[in-house]
Amino acid sequence: MSGSRPGQPRRSLTRPRHDRSSWSAGSVATVINATLAGVGGVFVLTTSVPVTAIAAGAAALLAIVIVLAYR
């Protein structure tokens, strides 16, 4: 083995892979802002608290699915 000395660990010749599970701050902010804008938009359009509560639950589920799908 050329260049290796006894007692030293071998270095990998492959480059480290990008960690796909890491979310940037911008990505997290985009998901949160889209969720809040959607729920606010539902309230503005319907002015109904029960409908807005259902939309908030659906938006939370959608945000969870987005985060888990791109993890």
Where are the chain's structural domains? 25-69
**What is the tens place of the pLDDT at every residue in 18-37?**
555 577 888 888 888 989 99
Q: What is the dihedral of CA 32, 33, 37, 38, to 10 degrees?
A: -40
Q: Residue 69 has what pLDDT?
A: 85
Output the DSSP codes for 10-38: PPPSSPPPP-TTPPPHHHHHHHHHHHHHH
* First vs last C-alpha separation in the chain: 39
Residue 57 has pLDDT above 80, yes or no: yes
Confidence of residue 7 (pLDDT cuts 50, 70, 90): low
Under DSSP, the state recorded for 15 is P
3-class SS of residue 39:
helix
